[in-house]
Copies of this chain bind each other. A is one copy, B any other.
């Protein structure tokens, strides 16, 4: 069963391939009479003609493929965004290819190259630590890309992010309002600015309320479980135990809650909890956890819109969109 090409359609309809192309691409139709147009459409239908996108891409120099590089596609946060991205892209004839960097800057760079070789029209990137060089290269080649979710020191590119600092401030303030005197921060040991902003928001709230800083638990990104168990163990063996915890990511909350569960620490009586990110998993925890809900849908849709603008050169200036996360209060904060 040979593939049918534009030539076959032209033959059957007794027209030139140019006419077929014109009709099937719905060009401004002062060309081609309605009768021939119909003849062409019928022929295409009859032969079940499927235009070859590869050939089209080669000619137009547009692949209509977008690359999306995340830290880990198996993380529901990125999974959810990928899903929406893919659905929205499909509607306008774009395809998304996804790669997982695993927080590794070499893999990250390799994926970028692979995707560019694949002739993607643009990239949506969630940077990893030490990936600055990848961005410098992209900028030098003027390759269309945007940054999603994260932030790199010294790299100023268009991107979609959320109000990390403000929402963290708000979350911490809430903990304090509800009575916390010794709130504990559990966050990453990182240089990623978006994550550091979450810390800043926390500390700002402390300062504002004249609370002294307790030593935060700073977790290595590839040693989450252990670092958290050890850290919490230390804090909860003190006489002055934390009475509230702010987890700056779903994965951190995950391990942390597990610790609290195993050690019979009561929420919210002994400690209040607020965690960044929504998670299905919270539903299986005995206490409904208060959390910060990111606008995943908006993030994905805005990202798509922004990268398309850049590809089509409707945007020459650097644009930074900051979307608003929402604090969802439940049992774990009274």
A residues near B (Cβ < 8 Å) are 1, 50-55, 57-58, 63, 72-74, 76, 79-80, 82-83, 86-87, 90, 95-100, 111, 113-114, 116-119, 141-142, 254, 257-258, 261, 279-286
Bound Cα distance A117, B76 (Å)? 29
**Copies of the protein in its oligomer:** 2
The reply to whether B100 and A87 contact each other, CB–CB distance below 8 Å, is: yes
- Ordered nearest first, which 10 A-B pairs have the shortest CB separation? A281-B281, A284-B285, A74-B79, A79-B79, A54-B57, A54-B119, A74-B80, A74-B83, A73-B83, A284-B284
The SS class assigned to the A binding surface is helix
Write out the residue numbers on chain B whose beta carbons fall within 8 Å of the beta carbon of A63: 54
Write out the residue numbers on chain B whose beta carbons fall within 8 Å of the beta carbon of A79: 73-74, 76, 79
The reply to whether A261 and B286 contact each other, CB–CB distance below 8 Å, is: yes
Bound Cα distance A57, B83 (Å)? 27
The reply to whether B50 and A54 contact each other, CB–CB distance below 8 Å, is: no
Given contacts A114-B90, A281-B281, A284-B258, contact A142 B1 (CB under 8 A): yes
The reply to whether B58 and A86 contact each other, CB–CB distance below 8 Å, is: no
Write out the residue numbers on chain B whose beta carbons fall within 8 Å of the beta carbon of A99: 86, 90
The reply to whether B86 and A73 contact each other, CB–CB distance below 8 Å, is: yes
The reply to whether A72 and B83 contact each other, CB–CB distance below 8 Å, is: yes
The reply to whether B254 and A284 contact each other, CB–CB distance below 8 Å, is: yes
Bound Cα distance A118, B90 (Å)? 12
